Amino acid sequence: MASAASKLYADDVSLLMVLLDTNPFFWSSSNLPFSKFLPHVLAFLNSILLLNQLNQVVVIATGYNSCSYIYDSSSDSNQGSDHGRIMPARCSNLLQKLEEFVIKDEQLFKEGSREGISSSLLSGSLSMALCFDEQIYRGFFDQGHFILNLAVTMHAMQILCLQGSSDGPEQYVAIMNSIFSAQRSMVPIDSCYMGSSNSAFLQQASYITGGVYLKPQQPNGLFQYLSTVFATDLHSRAFLQLPKSLGVDFRASCFCHKKTIDMGYICSVCLSIFCKHHKKCSTCGVLKLLSVLYALCFGWVRRITT
């Protein structure tokens, strides 16, 4: 029984979710402009689809005001009609969607009109990618007797973050939640970081989920980095010498002075971290005050309405 199952299960078919950072604030100041970055990525996506005909690629754009699915290779219908065009259908589809997304993202920014956003909404696109993976996974096992089903092949799922902008501290909890969820469903998060200094979020994500974190030394050779490191399927990775993480610092920083500490005091109620012993936890104190205010306001509103 087991041997039949393992034969039908293809170990080199992968489903790659690419999270593409489109933050204009980053790309306008980057060494590698977006117009030069994109051809590397398109070539990489094509090569993934070339490696195995069953491979699937889904691209999610990570904007600074929204996130959206922009490409799914399984729903790409007009692959045959490439003749006579300068650009293959795949790329033109993707580029068109990408352009629409960027324009919409910019409009949202004008409505919100907030200054100086340097981070992208990585937590949003990561959450979407995980929902998609979960759906694929469910669809596979919902077939019931999946051994019989030759048409559906189990994809090995991977997430690749092509990120450039810096971390947004307000996304910390959401990103950590996504990381633990990915770890639980055994989806590795690979990250290729184009920014100037390392991204602590992506380093943690790759370390915890068993993915690869890479910061290309020469951005002009991006395609080579992508194809040699990230194009390998999960099965083959066991045989390769991939870039090792140099160790991630898991020490915490205290809430009071933002210092990185070895030893500290944790509030047993809200898990805030402090470097010195206080009589009262300042975070819970604040929280309690807020909830009292909230209750007061709520009571007040109710009194007016009744």
- 130 binds other proteins, rule: CB under 8 A: yes
Which pair of tokens denotes residue 36?
Answer: 């030069």
3 state SS of 187? coil
Structure-token match 């947004």, residue found: 168
CA distance 225 to 43: 12
Pick the binder of other proteins from 176, 234, 242, 256 (CB under 8 A): 176
- 198 binds other proteins, rule: CB under 8 A: no
Q: Stretches 18-26, 46-54, 58-66, 213-221: which one binds other proteins (CB under 8 A)?
A: 58-66
Residue-wise burial string across 102-115, b where 16 or more C-beta atoms lie within 10 A, e elsewhere: beebeeebeeeeee
CA distance 76 to 49: 12
Angle at 102 between CA 178 and CA 96, to 5 degrees: 105
Considering beta carbons, is residue 108 or 301 the nearer one to other proteins? 108
Considering beta carbons, is residue 121 or 229 the nearer one to other proteins? 121
3 state SS of 83? coil
Span 66-85, contacts to other proteins by CB under 8 A:
66-69, 72
3 state SS of 217? coil
Pick the binder of other proteins from 186, 271, 296, 301 (CB under 8 A): 271
Considering beta carbons, is residue 5 or 50 the nearer one to other proteins? 5
Q: Which residues bind other proteins (CB under 8 A)?
A: 1, 4, 64-69, 72, 108, 112, 114, 117, 121, 123-125, 127-128, 130-132, 134-135, 138, 145, 147-148, 150, 170-174, 176-181, 184-185, 204, 208, 247, 249-252, 261-271, 273-274, 277-278, 281, 284, 287, 290-291, 294
